[in-house]
Amino acid sequence: METENEGHLPFLDIDIYRRPNGSLDHRVYRKPTHINLYLNARSHHHPSSKAAALSTLVHRARTRCDQDSLRGELEFLKDTLRWNGYNDRQIHRALNRRPKHNQHDDRRDTVAFLPFIGTIFNKISRVLSRHKITSVGLPPKKIL
């Protein structure tokens, strides 16, 4: 169990600390043994792996830091990434990338339940899919 030490309480990867006015804030926590060694820019990894490492660190900073400590954390990341061989363009791209939000269509997902009759079902399904209607094929009714 963690205990508060000099106004700081590490919990997972968050440092919860007490401000002079008594309120609590939070920022990224790194263990004392952490050496800021990440995937080096000159390593033989795919560029998307390197970009993912950078964007993961930036995302972690944005989600774990309060507004007061975010700027300091991003500056720390810039220095650390430079030390790991990344150029300013790569760092700038990672810091300014915004998460993609899915553009949700206001229309509801419509489903059509149709009897499955070979090629006719396929033709009707193609026409309906152009209008964002999903087709579900139902088995034929059994004759007893």
Q: How confident is the model at residue 37 (pLDDT cuts 50, 70, 90)?
A: very high
Assigned domain for 2 exists: no
Assigned domain for 1 exists: no
Read off the pLDDT of residues 81-99 as tens digits, 9 standing for 90 and up: 999 999 999 999 998 887 6
pLDDT at 85: 94
What are the distances in angstroms from CA 112 to CA 17, 91, 106, 128, 133?
A: 55, 48, 19, 8, 7
Higher pLDDT, 58 or 144: 58
Among the listed residues 53, 78, 79, 74, the one whose alpha carbon sits nearest the alpha carbon of residue 63: 74
The pTM of this model reads 0.63
User: Do 13 and 71 belong to one domain?
Assistant: yes
User: Do 80 and 144 belong to one domain?
Assistant: no
User: By the 8 A CB rule, do 127 and 134 touch?
Assistant: no
Bridge partners (DSSP) listed for residue 115: 138
User: Do 118 and 59 belong to one domain?
Assistant: no
User: Do 38 and 91 belong to one domain?
Assistant: yes
Q: How confident is the model at residue 74 (pLDDT cuts 50, 70, 90)?
A: very high
Report the distance separating Cα 122 and Cα 53, nearest Å. 44
Query: What is the domain range of residue 121?
Result: 103-144
Read off the pLDDT of residues 111-125 as tens digits, 9 standing for 90 and up: 888 888 878 888 888
Q: How confident is the model at residue 107 (pLDDT cuts 50, 70, 90)?
A: low
Among the listed residues 82, 135, 90, the one whose alpha carbon sits nearest the alpha carbon of residue 113: 135
Give me the number of domains the chain comprises: 2
Averaged pLDDT of the chain: 86
53: its two tokens: 């490492």
Among the listed residues 75, 77, 34, the one whose alpha carbon sits nearest the alpha carbon of residue 54: 77
pLDDT at 22: 83
